[in-house]
Structure 1
């Protein structure tokens, strides 16, 4: 049985989530108080309704509590975002993910019971910054305030060396959890396997340790 999603706020962030979930075949209810935005998603989402999400009775009428996951992607109106989140949790929505505008907004959302708070602009900024530093840093995903996972291309200092030679865990405190070699993904790779030029490593660790790992082994300075 497929999960049912509702997306409240159909701006760039909410609209993107709505389209992607729909493309993956998920049932999605698209909600916004702006009629034009709702009309744009009538042929994208399973259903699209014009609704003020701060109106508790209106949310009850559409059966919002029946949705397993509601994403609150309201733009600049922090007050509406907070009030919507409170109403959703009071109505018993199982999982509520909310877009935060800033750290203060995030603190409030966490206090009122949001299950997950996301900072799409900040998170994308971090990912892009790491890629700007080196084309060998392919992706960067924040797991917590001080731990992340990175996808890196084997730098020149790593080619033709094994994990034993590089001693990444001892030297940097990071763990290589997988290596992509072409279409093959080697999970929990053998420590004596030699790294090739196009290999991609999935590495997890504390942010400070990952930064040292990137500086010394991933970034090619010449």
Structure 2
């Protein structure tokens, strides 16, 4: 397989979505409103990771495009849990891609303790052979969820998916602590946002 040609549309999806999602954040700032988007990242899954996932799930090469849904992956990180659902609602109203599946791992966390909201989308890409519908994944999570998930991913890589039981137990406790932090911060959300508005206003005042 010519991987460079195969992955080109996915690279395009990631770059275009980065621009659009960062544009959403900028629009809130222009209007001096709280932005539910803290930051946006994106990546195309490396070829060895694609092959490893295909092998683990017994996916044939001809089915990779449809069955591996996170070859193009976007991550939207927020301050508050409420922000996650606000972003989901905004993405549901867009007409530049189609949501084909939603996975709410906040209401129903994974056994590991993982929490996040996943949207699987079909995004139209213009290629030299016409329009191509590319499957991509958008993950939306809080800063605390992202911190936990990043560390869990590193441990999974280190232990090749076989994290020792004692570390798994600590990870679960850490996941609950992270969510408790999210819950506590949600209780003072209005205070935090007001402070941020004051800071943003003062920062943009002209120097006399």
Q: Same fold (TM over 0.5)?
A: no
TM-score by length of 2: 0.27
Q: Which has the higher contact order (CA 8 A, sep 6+)?
A: 2
Larger-Rg structure: 1
TM-score by length of 1: 0.25
